[in-house]
Structure 1
């Protein structure tokens, strides 16, 4: 297997496991993907590149970091819930929905737990099936 194939395979495997948990995660990945290679390239080629190109590369390297800082501050003041995890947001929305409905019907506490965590329902139902079907 060639080096190119190995790198491509690793990138595909890594990309498949990335879960976006909050609004800043994509820009933080962009910081790592752009900033580190551009700085490395600039340091490696500083002797052969003209000054204007070095300045442009440094600006390009700092741009994602500045966008990440600005995005964080914007979300911090305008919509702080977006900085929380996806599970937190789902749980909060479900509790707000239950509060909106009022006391018209009783709410099972297990159903609140299952909303952000559907695997819990699947695992508990499969364990019940195993108990019901003795061999």
Structure 2
């Protein structure tokens, strides 16, 4: 959007700037990821009041969807073990070569993500390029 809102402390002025920026666009999609509670759309510039503006939010909570007044719900299913491992390894990237010992740890980490795609992608992204088995063990322990 090319807006500098860093120094804008007044919520109403910040929301007004956002709203003006939204109105300058013909079509806009706003994605709010990992929402844990009801958000005030007015503080975000009331994007749903702007023609051509769509809002997508991701959350683990059905209650958040209800509180936000979502019109359409799409449930993302958990992946089975094989698909989860495939997504994890793809997200690691081809530059991360797993030794047999690290692969055992990585499989345990993927299992702990319980088939949740966002968790698998995020964790694999953090481990991308890591070749030290101690770092893998530490990450598994923290997980």
Instruction: Please identify the structure whose Cα radius of gyration is greater.
Output: 1
TM-score (norm 1): 0.25
Q: Which has a greater percent of helix? A: 1
Q: Which has a greater percent of strand? A: 2
TM-score (norm 2): 0.24
Higher RCO, 1 or 2 (CA under 8 Å, sep at least 6)?
Answer: 1
